[in-house]
Amino acid sequence: MNGTKKRVLLGMSGGVDSSVAGYLLREQGYDVVGVTMKVWPQDCISRAEDKCCGPQAIADARGVAHSLGIPHYVVDEADQFERVVIDYFSSEYQAGRTPNPCVMCNEKLKFGSLWEKARALDCDYIATGHYAIIEQRPERAILRKGRDPRKDQSYFLFSLRQSQLRHALTPLGAMAKPEIRQIARSLGLKVADKVDSQEICFVPGNDYKAFLRGHLGETEFHRGGIYDLSGNFLAEHEGIEMFTIGQRKGLPGGSPRPRYVVDIDPASNRVFVGDAEDLLVEEFEIDRINWSSRSHSEEPLAVMVKIRNSHPGAAATLIPLANDRALIRLVESQKAVTPGQAAVCYDGDVVIAGGWICRHAAVAAA
């Protein structure tokens, strides 16, 4: 790198990905500063030892930074995390939606409030260990899928604005996980074989229902009835917070075929169940759309849309509407299109736009 070294603030979770990202950035000539966010609220500490928000993560990140010869800081974002991520997580379930806290954390914290720390440390960029490619072009930044399809995390970055993408680095985007671990082993990093977390970092045991009970308290749950799509009452439930679209477990029996949650009505606290085919959706709306790698379009666009991170993608037409909304018209109906989740639209491997899925199912007038 010619001239003065560019300084980059690297978010270090204590895992192998962000650790190797630090090494790669250093080798590319960047002046790297490691930062780990302390994000666990007080009621989470004892249960978060193995999480990216736990004390062990800070110790691992500090050890890696020492090995790489880069400075390391800890920033306390617990209050912000509680307000921006955990409260959002809880309130979405209370509204009958299924939240996506990782998207919110990336937008509001990792590439949001962390900028204050970056500026204070005279950093030009923020870097993370995400498996996505951010290509800097003269006219705008382009967000692309990571090269390893099993690890691609572009879905979780769809809501980043151009001002954020312009100052973001993701050095692992063109690499596969085995390469990352091999580099870590060659460097002698203790985190080389550290297991990836597959869970939401603040939800112990991935039991979000238990977490909500502890965080909200029993009195905050919205109790009501479970109905079929003809409006027939089937059973009481302990709260719409306990349900998500496509769910099978925890539903009343007595049906010759499996029942699934097909709609949640937060206005009446009713949960509607139906057959598998009742989960199929031909079109749906998204709101708070973010045009990621292109300017706003007034015309319909042919896209591939992912309705959840694990979804393989489906052919669709993106039809822009007023007030930052859009209609997604699917070529083939998709199952369990879930309000509150993100729908991210791609042109090949480029993230075109994305937004939040609105409630769409027709409910019975019970």
Active site residues: 105, 201
Q: Is 34 helix (H, G, I), strand (E, B) or coil?
A: strand
Contact 8, 121 (CB under 8 A): no
CA distance 333 to 267: 27
Contact 133, 146 (CB under 8 A): yes
| Burial (CB count within 10 angstroms: exposed 0-12, middle 13-18, buried 19+), residue 55 | middle
Contact 132, 153 (CB under 8 A): yes
Rounded (10°) angle between helices 177-186 and 16-27: 70
CA distance 278 to 264: 13
User: In which element (H, E) is residue 343 found?
Assistant: strand 342-347
**Cα of 45 vs its chain's centroid, Å:** 22
